[in-house]
Structure 1
Amino acid sequence: MKTLGLIGGTSWHATVEYYSQINQKVGDVIGKQANPELIIYSINIELMREQNKEKIQAKYLEVSKKLQEVKAEGIIICANTPHMIYDYVQPKIDIPILHIGVATGRAAQDAGLKTLGLLGNKPTMTGKFIPSILENDFGIKIIIPEGEDLDQSHHYVSKELTQGTFSQEAKAFYLKQIKEMKSRGADGIILGCTELPLLLKDIKADLPMLATTDLHIEMAVNFILDH
C-alpha cells in the first residue's frame, strides 16, 4: 500500500471523517487485521478565515513539503476550499495532490450529468479551482446560488458547519437551494463543503447529490491500494 499524507484541520470534523472512512474502506478490501499508513498534518482553521491568499499558499506548500520529506507518496487535502492552492503548490513538489475536482468530475461523467449546481462557501462557489476542472476537463456546466443566497450559503458553512453546528435552518436552506437549482436546469448537485454531506445525511433530495467528500475518499482509497 502507498503512504498517503492528509492535510486537515479545515475543519477537524471533516478531517475525522476522512481518516475514519479511508481506514474503513481500505479495511473492506485488505481485511480488518491491517490498516493503511497515513500521515496527518492538521492546520489551524484560522488560517483560512484570514483569507490571505499568499499566507495560505505558503502554509500549504510548507506542509506539503514536510509530508513529502517524511515519505508520503501522495497528498489529500481534507476539505474543498483549500484546493485553491493546488496550482501554486503542485508544481513545487514531487508527489501528487489528489484533486477533489477530478474525483467529482469523474463521478459526474460516469453518471451522465451535464449541469451541476455547486453549494459551499463563497470561495468554493465563486472561485475557479473546482468549476474550471469540471468545465474544462469534463465539459460540465456549473451554476451557483444567486444574490443573497450566495452570502447565506457562505454564512452557514463558515459560521456553523465548519464549527460543528448542524441546524435545521441550514438543512432547510440547502434543500430549498437544490429545488431552485433544479428549476434553473441542474441535473445534479455538488455538495462542495466537506460538512454538507454530514448535514444532509439520509436526506432525499430532488436531484442526485455528489458528495465531494465521499468521492475524494474513494480516490484516496484507490491511490493507497494502487488501483
Structure 2
Amino acid sequence: MRTIGLIGGLSWESTIIYYQIINQRVRERLGGSHSANSLIWSVDYTTVEDLIFADRWDEVGTMLADAGGKLERMGAELLLICSNTFNRVSDEVARGTGVPVLHIADAVGAEVVSRGWRKVGLLGTRFTMEEPFIRDRLAAYGFEVVVPGRERRELVHRVIFEELVRGLLRPSSKEAYVEIVAELAAEGAEGVILGCTEIELLISDKDTVVPVLPSARLHAEAAAGFALGES
C-alpha cells in the first residue's frame, strides 16, 4: 500500500473528514481492521489565513511546499492539500517536492464527468468562486461552471471564514446555503460542487433540490484509490 501525505489544518475540521474517509475506504476495500498508511502535517490555520487575506500567496506557497517536503522525507508517495482554496498553490508544492500532488479539482471533475453533467454550480470561498485556479481546471473537463451572484458569493464566503472554519454550524446559514443551491439549480445546474471542504459539514444531498458533490470526500476517496493501486 502506498503512503498518503496530507497537508492539513486548512482547517483542521475538514482534515478530519480526509482522515476518516481515507481509512474507511481502505477498510472497505481490504476488509478486517485495515487502515491507510498516511501522514498528516497540520499547519496553524490563522497563520495562513492572515497571509491569504494580505494577498501574500507566495509565502503560502513556500509554507505548504515546506510541509510537502517534510511529508515526502517521512515517506509520503502522494500529497494532498486538504482544501480547495489552498490548491491555488498546488503547483508550488509540486515543484518543491518529488512526489505527485493530487489536485482537488481533478477528483471533483472526474466525478462530474462520470455523472454526465453538463452544467454545475460551485460554492466556496471568494477566492475559489472568483479566481480561475479551480474554475478553469474544472471547466477543462468539458462542463460549464456557474457561481452565485456577488451578494450571495459574499454570504457564502463570510459563513466559511466566520463560522465553518471555527466549527460553528448555524441553522440560519444552512438555510441560506440551501436557498443558494436552489437558485443555482433554477439556472440549470444539474448539481452543485461544495468547493470548500468545510461546507459539507453544513449541508448534504438530504437538504438540497439537486445533488451536491462533497469535494473533500471525493478528494479523499481518490487518494485512497491511489494508495490501493486502483488509480
Match of 2:17 in 1: 17
**Residues 17, 217 of structure 2: 8 Å contact kept:** no
The runs of at least 4 aligned residues of structure 1 exceeding 3 Å deviation read none
Match of 2:69 in 1: 65
Match of 2:200 in 1: 197
Say whether 1:214 aligns with 2:227: no
Q: TM-score, normalised by structure 1?
A: 0.95
**Residues 47, 56 of structure 1: 8 Å contact kept:** no
2: distance between equivalents of 1:11 and 1:161? 9
Give the superposed CA RMSD: 1.3
**Residues 175, 205 of structure 1: 8 Å contact kept:** yes
2: distance between equivalents of 1:12 and 1:134? 25
Cα distance per residue 1:81-106 (max 9 Å; x no partner):
11000122213321111111001111
1: distance between equivalents of 2:16 and 2:157? 22
2: distance between equivalents of 1:162 and 1:109? 29
The residue type equivalent to 1:127 in the other structure is: E
Q: Out of 86-95 and 14-23, give the one that drifted further.
A: 86-95
2: distance between equivalents of 1:34 and 1:106? 27
Kindly report which structure 2 residues correspond to 1:41-60, keeping only aligned pairs within 5 A, or say none: 41-50=41-50, 51=52, 52-60=56-64
Kindly report which structure 2 residues correspond to 1:6-155, keeping only aligned pairs within 5 A, or say none: 6-50=6-50, 51=52, 52-136=56-140, 138-155=141-158
Compute the displacement of 1:148 (Å).
Answer: 1.3
Compute the displacement of 1:45 (Å).
Answer: 0.7
Structure 1: unaligned runs, 5 residues or longer: none
The residue type equivalent to 2:133 in the other structure is: F
Match of 1:188 in 2: 191
Compute the displacement of 1:202 (Å).
Answer: 5.7
2: distance between equivalents of 1:135 and 1:24? 30
Aligned residues: 226
Compute the displacement of 1:20 (Å).
Answer: 1.4
